[in-house]
């Protein structure tokens, strides 16, 4: 039985602040989209924020459900197996859909017009790895009983996501798995060997596609094509730089006026910088750092290894996505299609992240 029935209110509060900030920034960043001179223009200034509010309500219900059901019930081979089969099938199914902006990442499920299976595959990956590694604690370095199954699962899911194509999300799977393996006790020498193999493989993969080579070139020299391929990076930096210390004020940003494409999705942190300034950017970054610290605390205090691995997996999942998104906005990394957790517009990523938070809150109730 749980020794402590109260969930971590500080963790809960940090997520609430991030979600509320996201709703504010989505409204500010998307309101002017009604003036788009295309048939894709939304019906009104509140279109995106209303849709995101509905997604928040659904995500809150998912988080409450995850928080209410004992996390140890997830450690069921039949449940994990069925979940992985379902997720793999969904990742295969998206490959047969018509591409949207050159990628096949979304499925339509009745009333849910667009859902992204690769976001939920992160949840399945963390749960499956936590179950496997908790059963192999004394055999963490065994090549066939531990390392090969882990590599096989990650390679399967990441490989399907790469076919969409979505290199950023695929790499996130490897980072999550690496963090969980390290937390489970895998010696550092194994990570060094993996890096020596992964770096040339990744380099070869990047250089086999023209658009990936273009992204590297733009990352290194965005000013070489300021009105073309370097446009996003330059406009993002202009937005952040314009904000200064305190920002221009909520709603007063200029880059969302069709200078920065889709400012309410992957580049919403640039709007935070422009309208709320360095103080706003630091506050958002600080909230993610605090969330990570509370998640790791819940993991460290979990009563069993399955819970500890769940906690570290979900904490890393959320924060790595945040760091990658923020790094892209600040031109510290090449452009990736990874949303900012809790802030970027979109249902699938929000639901997956809130599910992860629900399980972290569940863990916090069982702290030893």
Question: Which range marks the domain in which residue 202 is found?
Answer: 9-365
Residue recorded with tokens 């938070």: 357
Residue 322 lies in a domain: yes
Written as six digits, the tokens of 2 are 């749980």
Per-residue pLDDT band for 36 (boundaries 50, 70, 90) equals: low
Residue 149 lies in a domain: yes
Mean pLDDT score of the chain: 88
d(CA 4, CA 337): 39
Residue 40 has a pLDDT of 55
Residue 43 has a pLDDT of 66
Whether the CB-CB separation of 221 and 334 falls below 8 Å is answered with no
Residue 288 has a pLDDT of 97
Residue recorded with tokens 């200034």: 45
Which pLDDT tens digit goes with each residue over 294-318?
Answer: 999 999 999 999 999 999 999 999 9
Residue 67 lies in a domain: yes
Count of positions (residues) in the chain: 368
Q: Which range among 146-155, 175-184, 331-340 shows the weakest confidence by mean pLDDT?
A: 331-340
Residue 3 lies in a domain: no
Residue 2 lies in a domain: no
| 100 beta partners | 103
Which pLDDT tens digit goes with each residue over 45-89?
Answer: 788 899 999 999 999 999 999 999 999 999 999 999 999 999 999
Whether the CB-CB separation of 18 and 342 falls below 8 Å is answered with yes
Which pLDDT tens digit goes with each residue over 106-164?
Answer: 887 766 768 899 999 999 999 999 999 999 988 898 888 989 999 999 999 999 998 88
Number of domain units in the chain: 1
Give the Å distances, CA to CA, from 230 to 153, 221, 223, 335.
Answer: 36, 8, 6, 10
Residue 222 lies in a domain: yes
Residue 4 has a pLDDT of 46
Q: Which H helix or E strand runs over 52?
A: helix 47-68
Residue 2 has a pLDDT of 42
- Is the model more confident about 287 or about 96? 287
pTM surpassing 0.85?
yes
Burial of 3 (0-12, 13-18, 19+ CB in 10 A): exposed
Nearest one of 33, 11, 78, 136 to 345, comparing CA atoms? 33
Residue 321 lies in a domain: yes
Give the Å distances, CA to CA, from 16 to 29, 235, 287.
Answer: 20, 29, 10
Whether the CB-CB separation of 94 and 104 falls below 8 Å is answered with yes
d(CA 122, CA 120): 5
């Amino acid at each position: 039985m749980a020794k402590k029935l109260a969930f971590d209110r500080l963790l809960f509060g940090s997520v609430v602040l991030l979600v509320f900030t996201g709703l504010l920034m989505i409204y500010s960043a998307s309101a002017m989209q009604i003036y788009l001179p295309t048939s894709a223009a939304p019906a009104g200034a509140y279109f995106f924020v209303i849709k995101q509010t509905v997604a928040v309500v659904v995500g809150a219900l998912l988080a409450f459900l995850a928080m209410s059901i004992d996390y140890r019930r997830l450690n069921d081979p039949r449940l994990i197996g069925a979940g992985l089969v379902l997720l793999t099938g969904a990742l295969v199914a998206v490959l047969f859909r018509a591409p949207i902006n050159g990628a096949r990442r979304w499925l339509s499920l009745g009333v849910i017009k667009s859902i992204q299976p690769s976001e939920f595959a992160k949840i399945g990956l963390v749960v499956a790895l936590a179950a496997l590694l908790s059963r192999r604690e004394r055999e963490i370095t065994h090549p066939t009983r531990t390392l090969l199954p882990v590599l096989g699962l990650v390679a399967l899911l990441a490989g399907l996501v790469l076919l969409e194509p979505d290199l950023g999300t695929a790499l996130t799977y490897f980072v999550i798995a690496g963090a969980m393996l390290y937390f489970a006790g895998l010696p550092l020498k194994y990570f060094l060997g993996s890096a020596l193999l992964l770096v040339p493989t990744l380099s070869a993969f990047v250089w086999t596609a023209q658009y990936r080579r273009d992204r590297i070139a733009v990352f290194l020299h965005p000013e070489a094509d300021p009105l073309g391929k370097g446009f996003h990076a330059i406009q993002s930096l202009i937005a952040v730089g314009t904000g200064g210390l305190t920002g221009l004020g909520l709603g007063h940003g200029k880059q969302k006026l069709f200078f920065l494409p889709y400012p309410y999705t992957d580049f919403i942190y640039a709007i935070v910088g422009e309208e709320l300034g360095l103080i706003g950017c630091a506050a958002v970054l600080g909230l993610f750092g605090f969330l990570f610290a509370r998640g790791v605390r819940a993991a460290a205090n979990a009563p069993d290894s399955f819970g500890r691995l769940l906690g570290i997996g979900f904490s890393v999942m959320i924060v790595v996505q945040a760091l990658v998104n923020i790094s892209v906005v600040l031109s510290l990394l090449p452009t990736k299609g990874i949303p900012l957790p809790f802030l970027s517009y979109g249902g699938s990523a929000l639901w997956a992240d809130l599910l992860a938070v629900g399980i972290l809150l569940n863990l916090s109730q069982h702290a030893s």
